[in-house]
Amino acid sequence: GQQLNQSPQSMFIQEGEDVSMNCTSSSIFNTWLWYKQDPGEGPVLLIALYKAGELTSNGRLTAQFGITRKDSFLNISASIPSDVGIYFCAGQPPGSARQLTFGSGTQLTVLP
């Protein structure tokens, strides 16, 4: 089956710093999604990417759909304490299958 490699597994940063995390795949995806999950809650959609090369921003978050369709990155600028959580990338393959393949997550800790 398809595998998503997400890195880094965890990050400790100072408040105000910028953060970058990425996902790579062994096969292509038609859609890349980035979710954030807080403890005890379900993942919440941050950004959706539908086109190779697409660069999309949502406030302090910026994500890109890699031109090869096998990778994506998420940047968070000027981190704040509420950015703490687990960030997941997810990809949707070509064809009729609708289920998402998820990365293993990046645990982000923001230090004051």
* Per CB under 8 A, 40 contacts other proteins: yes
* Per CB under 8 A, 91 contacts other proteins: no
Phi, psi of 81 (to 5 degrees): -55, -35
Binding-site member from 12, 42, 59, 82 for other proteins (CB under 8 A): 42
* Closest C-alpha to 57, from 76, 42, 72: 76
* Per CB under 8 A, 48 contacts other proteins: yes
* Per CB under 8 A, 67 contacts other proteins: no
CA distance 61 to 2: 26
Between 10 and 68, CB nearer to other proteins: 10
CA distance 1 to 12: 32
For residue 84, give both structure tokens: 């703490």
Residues interacting with other proteins, by CB under 8 A?
4, 6, 31, 33, 35, 40-45, 48, 88, 90, 97-105
